[in-house]
Homo-oligomer: A and B are copies of this chain.
C-alpha cells in the first residue's frame, strides 16, 4: 500500500516502464510518507481498437 495503476496506450518500451515505476514510486513516497517497499505499481495497456473518446474509436481518430 499504496497501490498505483497506470493505464496507458500500448507500445511503451520496457525502458519507459522501468522509469515510470521508479519515478511514480518516488512521487508517492515523497507525498504520502509511505515507504517504497510498500508501493505497488501496475501498468495496464490500452489497445487502440478498444478505447475511444468523443464517441469514436481511438484507431479511427
- Interface residues, chain A, CB within 8 Å of chain B? 1-9, 12, 14, 16-28, 30-32, 34, 36-37, 39-46, 49-57, 59-60
Given contact pairs A1-B46, A14-B57, A6 touches B22 in the complex (Cβ within 8 A): no
Whether B49 and A41, one on each chain, are in contact in the complex, defined by CB atoms closer than 8 angstroms, is no
**Cα–Cα, bound, A33→B6 (Å):** 14
Instruction: Count the copies.
Output: 6
Whether A4 and B1, one on each chain, are in contact in the complex, defined by CB atoms closer than 8 angstroms, is no
Whether B32 and A8, one on each chain, are in contact in the complex, defined by CB atoms closer than 8 angstroms, is yes
Query: Shortest beta-carbon distance, A43 to chain B, in Å?
Result: 4
Query: Shortest beta-carbon distance, A6 to chain B, in Å?
Result: 5
User: Inside 8 A of A41's CB, which chain B residues have their CB?
Assistant: 51-53
